[in-house]
């Protein structure tokens, strides 16, 4: 498993949304920011390749960067930072 920081998640999500990482707030609704199902599947595939235990369904449930980070940390047995 890969340990991934909130900032790394932010960079990945911002990249797929084609926005600057600084423009992605922790509590922004990712669907409102443009994260559609195709982009979510691509993110999940990227993260799976890096060993991050998140999948497409997780991205449907966790709708903010903060929620995704907390879920990733929980799956890795760590307390959210």
Question: Tell me: the pLDDT tens digits for 6-53?
Answer: 999 999 999 999 999 999 999 999 999 999 999 999 999 999 898 888
Write down the domain spans for the chain: 6-75
The confidence score (pLDDT) of residue 81 equals: 53
State the chain's mean pLDDT as an integer. 89
**Residue 77 backbone class (left: φ over 0; alpha: ψ -120 to 50; beta: rest):** left
Tell me the C-alpha distance between 72 and 54, whole Å: 7
Q: Evaluate whether 11 touches 68 at the Cβ level (below 8 Å).
A: no
Tell me the C-alpha distance between 21 and 45, whole Å: 20
The confidence score (pLDDT) of residue 19 equals: 97
- The topology under which CATH files domain 6-75 is 1.10.1200
Helix axes 65-75, 6-17, angle to 10 degrees: 130
């Amino acid at each position: 498993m890969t340990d991934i920081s909130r900032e790394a998640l932010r960079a990945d999500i911002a990249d797929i949304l084609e926005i600057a990482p600084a423009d992605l707030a922790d509590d922004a609704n990712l669907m409102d920011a443009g994260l559609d199902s195709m982009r979510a599947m691509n993110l999940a595939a990227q993260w799976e390749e890096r060993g991050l235990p998140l999948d497409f369904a997780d991205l449907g449930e966790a709708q903010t960067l903060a929620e995704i980070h907390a879920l990733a940390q929980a799956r890795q047995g760590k307390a959210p930072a």
